[in-house]
Amino acid sequence: MSVDISTVKRVARLARIAVSEDDATRMTGELNAILGFVEQLNEVNVDGVEPMTSVTPMAMKKRRDVVNDGGKAADIVANAPVTEENFFVVPKVVE
């Protein structure tokens, strides 16, 4: 399978990465090179093979459903580009 430039632009939109016309052209070639390389996986017979979900067999560890951490709002917003009173500030999303 290969991608065309309109697919590349659509994927860039899904990935939330702005691309120029030149970027999209270049990326189309690069992505097709990678997709061409991974194509060989289709040769492998995977009949009856389960997809890997965990590389080491393990049961998911669970903890008690209790609050065990918190009260760190100031720490959490400390690295944000724009904040106000421990809230993240974003451009207006609702008119």
Partner 1 sequence: MTDLTALTIAEARDQLKARAITATELTSAYLKAIETANGALNAYIAVTPDKALDMAKASDARLAAGKAGALEGIPLGIKDLFGTEGVHTQACSHILDGFKPHYESTVTSNLWADGAVMLGKLNMDEFAMGSSNESSYYGPVKNPWRANGSNADLVPGGSSGGSAAAVAARLCAGATATDTGGSIRQPAAFTGTVGIKPTYGRCSRWGIVAFASSLDQAGPIARDVRDAAILLKSMASVDSKDTTSVDIAIPDYESIIGKPLTGLKIGIPKEYRVEGMPEEIEKLWQQGIAWLKDAGASIVDISLPHTKYALPAYYIVAPAEASSNLARYDGVRFGLRVPGKDIVDMYERTRASGFGDEVKRRIMIGTYVLSAGYYDAYYLQAQKVRTLIKKDFEDVFHAGVDAILTPATPSAAFGIADQDLASDPVKMYLNDIFTVTVNMAGLPGIAVPAGLDSRGLPLGLQLIGRPFDEETLFQTAYVIEQAAGRFNAPKWW
Q: Give residues in contact with partner 1 (CB under 8 A).
A: 1, 3, 7-8, 11-19, 27, 30-31, 33-35, 37-42, 44, 46, 49-56, 58, 60-61, 63, 72, 75, 77-82, 88, 90-93
Q: Which is nearer to partner 1, 44 or 67 (CB)?
A: 44
Give min distance, CB of 95 to partner 1, in A: 10
3-class secondary-structure state, position 11: helix
The alpha-helical segments, DSSP class H, found in the chain are 5-14, 21-38, 73-77
19-50: string of b/e by CB count within 10 Å (b at 16+)?
beeeebeebbeeeeeeeeeeeeeeeeeeeeee
Nearest to 3 by CA among 29, 23, 38: 29
